[in-house]
Each structure stands twice: as structure tokens, then as C-alpha cells.
Amino acid sequence: MNRSRRAFVGKALAAMSGVIALPLLSLPALAGEDPIPLIDVVVEKTPPGVNVGRMQTDRNGYLRFKSLSSGSYVVSDKFGNKASVKHQGGPVKWRLIGSTKNGKPVWTLVDESNPL
């Protein structure tokens, strides 16, 4: 790797420090992953762990809020699945995708309300 490329990569990595990032999922990466419909979840703001609400995903696996304040949130279900997401504030459009293993859902949260 030449010196200018190394400097560019170094600057890019430094700019990313302190950023909490969920895996970036593109539509091809989601192949084989299905929406998780009609599953009950709990949404909490962290810290201090304030329960925002209990809700159920819709038929397409979406969780939607008209408006949610900015901050970090945890979405969990009774099967032990849990995901953290940092929200910039405003409308929420989160989707649970995954599969079922041994009769229990295993999912990933995709944040469609904060496009990069």
C-alpha cells in the first residue's frame, strides 16, 4: 500500500473512532433473511433504561414510531434476542429480519429511518 493510500485509510479510521455502527446491510446481504412478523418486543431508551413501550412488529417485520427523541435504544424480545440502535430523533422505521431456529426467532434490527 503506498503512503497516500495509507494516510487516507488512517484518516478514515480516525474519523470513525467513537462511532457506534451496526453492520451495514444491503438488499443482497439480506437474501435468505425473512421479516419477523407479529413478534412482541420491548423498546427501552438507554441510559437510564426507560421503557418506551411494548409493541408488536407488523406483518412485514416493521416497528414504527411517529417520533422518538434522539438517543440510544435497546429492542428485545422474550426469546433473548436484543439489538441496540442509535437514533438521531424523529420518525422511526426499524425492521426485524432473520429466521426461526428450533421454533424461536433469531433476528437482526435494520434501521431504515437513519439512512447513511
Residue extents of the structural domains in the chain: 33-116
104: Cβ contacts below 8 Å, ≥ 6 apart: 79
66: Cβ contacts below 8 Å, ≥ 6 apart: 91
Single pTM value for the model:
0.69
- pLDDT tens column, 102-116: 989 999 999 998 665
pLDDT of residue 79: 95
Q: How far apart are the first and last CA of the chain?
A: 28
* Distance of alpha carbon 9 from alpha carbon 7, whole angstroms: 6
- pLDDT tens column, 25-63: 434 444 568 999 999 999 999 987 788 999 999 999 999
pLDDT band at 7 (very low <50, low <70, confident <90, very high): low
Pairing of the two strands 71-77 and 40-46:
antiparallel
* Distance of alpha carbon 15 from alpha carbon 55, whole angstroms: 36
